[in-house]
Amino acid sequence: AQAEARNLVKQSSSSSNNAAAATASSSSSSTTGPDDESSLDPANCCVTCRCGSCQLCQLRTYASHPWNINNLPQAKGSVLRFVREDVGGKPITGLMVPWVYVGSCFSAFCWHIEDHGLYSINYNHMGAAKIWYGVPAEAAAALDAAMRDALPHLFKRDRLLLHKLVTMLSPQQLAARGVPVCRAVQIPGSFVVTFPDAYHAGFNTGFNVAEAVNFAAPDWLPFGSSSVVRYRCESRYMTFSHDAMLINLVREAVAAAAAAGSSSTRPALPAPPTQQQQQQQQQDEDANAAAVT
């Protein structure tokens, strides 16, 4: 979309420059040049156009749309927007920036939960359907036990096997061991959302192109704290600092509360009871107790 926006802006800029050459210099000075980097951003490329139907307007709408999963990690309701870490000066890919997955017939993704137990969202852009299997968070321990029971020789070699995304077990075998498993079919143009600490796996029924990223609603925070403890017990590296994220969150909450307090009058707290009021309250309670007896 960004490359297409650049080409469209350059075309429109060159045509506008040609038209501006025949007009007064004052009007031509306001024309956006093809090398203006701000004009090549899909989010800004339609500043002067509000028709809503041209290609540039459509690109701008797509870039800022709330269901564009590029925007979800930094959305207002996602606490991942308080993750300030990056890799090489760029946001953490897969976590803060979506990955694109190109599937083929029977290509699979093995049983796993997301890093830090995060939410995830997957959008199937085109092609064949994806088949998903999911296990709720409250049954995660049961899936761990079932996998170890079914594949003891593999877990003997690697106790962290489930975190390697290389192990698949039939949903029928999990169900036979008491693990609740649900199934979903993701057709093109549809989303699949996985919840915190929910195991999921699946496969593609043919060629398709999908996009996925993580996000974190506020109710994820307890799961995130538990994942920190789990990572430490298993000697695993964390994708980002959970503590740093919490510090950033609290700082912004304090700043927002201070700004709200300065702009509005808060109700005063009730004054503590005086000694006379406490004595009167005690006498009333004694009188009520005597009346009951």
The CA distances from residue 195 to 62, 98, 188, in Å, are: 26, 17, 21
What's the CA gap between 237 and 75, in Å, rounded?
A: 26
Count CB atoms within 10 A of the CB of residue 194: 21
pLDDT at 7 over 80: no
What's the CA gap between 206 and 124, in Å, rounded?
A: 12
| Whole-number pLDDT of residue 38 | 45
| Whole-number pLDDT of residue 47 | 55
Strand order in the sheet with 182-186: 108-112, 199-204, 130-135, 182-186
| Whole-number pLDDT of residue 251 | 93
The CA distances from residue 3 to 6, 8, 51, 56, 225, in Å, are: 5, 9, 21, 12, 40
| Whole-number pLDDT of residue 91 | 87
Q: Are 82 and 252 in contact (CB under 8 A)?
A: yes
Of the listed ranges 43-47, 66-70, 200-204, the least confidently predicted one is 43-47
Q: Are 162 and 111 in contact (CB under 8 A)?
A: yes
What's the CA gap between 293 and 291, in Å, rounded?
A: 6
Tracing tokens 């409250």 back to the chain, one arrives at 138
Q: Are 52 and 104 in contact (CB under 8 A)?
A: no
List pLDDT tens digits, range 72-88: 999 988 999 999 888 77
Tally of residues, the chain: 293
Alpha carbon distance, N-terminus to C-terminus of the chain: 82
- Residue 274 DSSP label: P
List pLDDT tens digits, range 179-220: 999 999 999 999 999 999 999 999 999 999 999 999 999 999
Q: Are 97 and 103 in contact (CB under 8 A)?
A: no
| Whole-number pLDDT of residue 51 | 73
| Whole-number pLDDT of residue 196 | 97
Tokens of 106: 């029977």
What's the CA gap between 202 and 139, in Å, rounded?
A: 18
List pLDDT tens digits, range 8-42: 556 555 554 554 444 434 443 333 433 444 444 54
Q: Are 95 and 213 in contact (CB under 8 A)?
A: yes
Most confident of 2-6, 19-23, 235-239: 235-239
